[in-house]
Structure 1
């Protein structure tokens, strides 16, 4: 028969075993915390993507803008002119947020280029300008008109899609816009501008990222 002392020693040698349910709960909690940090802190401060508006309130988006402004270009900007017009687009959906690991991995392998282009939007017509980009690649951009505001739709179209599906990232009427995008899918990404005035309007567009110009 074991003594009380021996029984106590045997009890001390028994290691606690975590159940499968507790491990699953811990994994879910860790995933939720990582997702919250991604949306509230990392995307606004690193990529100027602020779906909740909290990043702008806390000043995190200013960090992303400062980081973008200090990045040195690796290619001398080129300047071109485009005058063809296209059909007007409409809103379909909003962009999705992918995992932080995929975004960081894609951004670390960028082949960065930069371009400056003048795009003439004819009177009473619309024009589209697109860049071909892979999934999870990063783009920073800035454009402004020579005076008058333009209606625009900044959107992307998945590679190989034949249904007409696209995602709109920003839609408004303005004389200028500055921002960044981490692409949610491979395909063409760019802008549609519509000139509702009686005179041509020139848009000067600056872009920097890993892309091929589709025009």
Structure 2
């Protein structure tokens, strides 16, 4: 005798339906997404798109790996300076090449202690051909103060219309530029300095041409 019950009636009433399984899987996926965004990302990767990491404090668990860096014994990472920080702009006039007074070339320097720092930026105004301006960036101890031989440090030599950079003085002395204009017209070099330097008095070695700041000095606090 055949079983009159339909196939649906033969299913185990305790087995979940396909719809229930799908809903359960969707719920589990949603929970996993929330846990990832709310806990894993803030704690492990410092990412907090939902803002829950900050609210729950989990974002404080994240920290980058640390590497200890030691300063070079010959170049300390931090130092105190005897003079205050200052900024000056200088306008250095250079006559045309062949000037009888040889005013187409001059030297301008400032005083820096050993290890003292200075930022610089200069540009030649009125120069048609950049190669017509020769420069020699160097420093040396002052002859009158030297105990023995004068120490000289060469930084950069070349031709061009501008330069930007920084200097950490290798010797206690005067540091700066020798400029020579080889063009057939007068030019002006506009030099901006910032750092822990001191001006060389007019008429002394390093400032025989009596170059003074174009504007008032801007010392730091």
Scaled by the length of structure 2, the TM-score of the pair is 0.49
| TM-align CA RMSD | 2.3
Shift of 1:113: 0.2
Q: Corresponding residue for 1:144?
A: 123
Scaled by the length of structure 1, the TM-score of the pair is 0.50
- Please give the secondary structure, in 1, of the residue aligned with 2:114: coil
Shift of 1:167: 1.4
1:122 aligns with 2:122: no
Distance across 1 between alignment mates of 2:75 and 2:198:
24
Distance across 1 between alignment mates of 2:193 and 2:174:
14
Higher helix share: 1
Q: Corresponding residue for 1:175?
A: 161
Shift of 1:110: 5.8
1:112 aligns with 2:95: no
**CA radius of gyration, larger in:** 2
Length, aligned pairs only: 120
Distance across 2 between alignment mates of 1:194 and 1:34:
43
Q: Corresponding residue for 1:188?
A: 174
Gaps of 5+ in 2: 1-68, 98-103, 201-206, 208-221
The ranges of structure 1 where at least 4 consecutive aligned residues each deviate by more than 4 angstroms after the TM superposition are 162-165
Distance across 2 between alignment mates of 1:165 and 1:112:
25
- Please give the secondary structure, in 2, of the residue aligned with 1:105: coil
Gaps of 5+ in 1: 1-32, 39-97
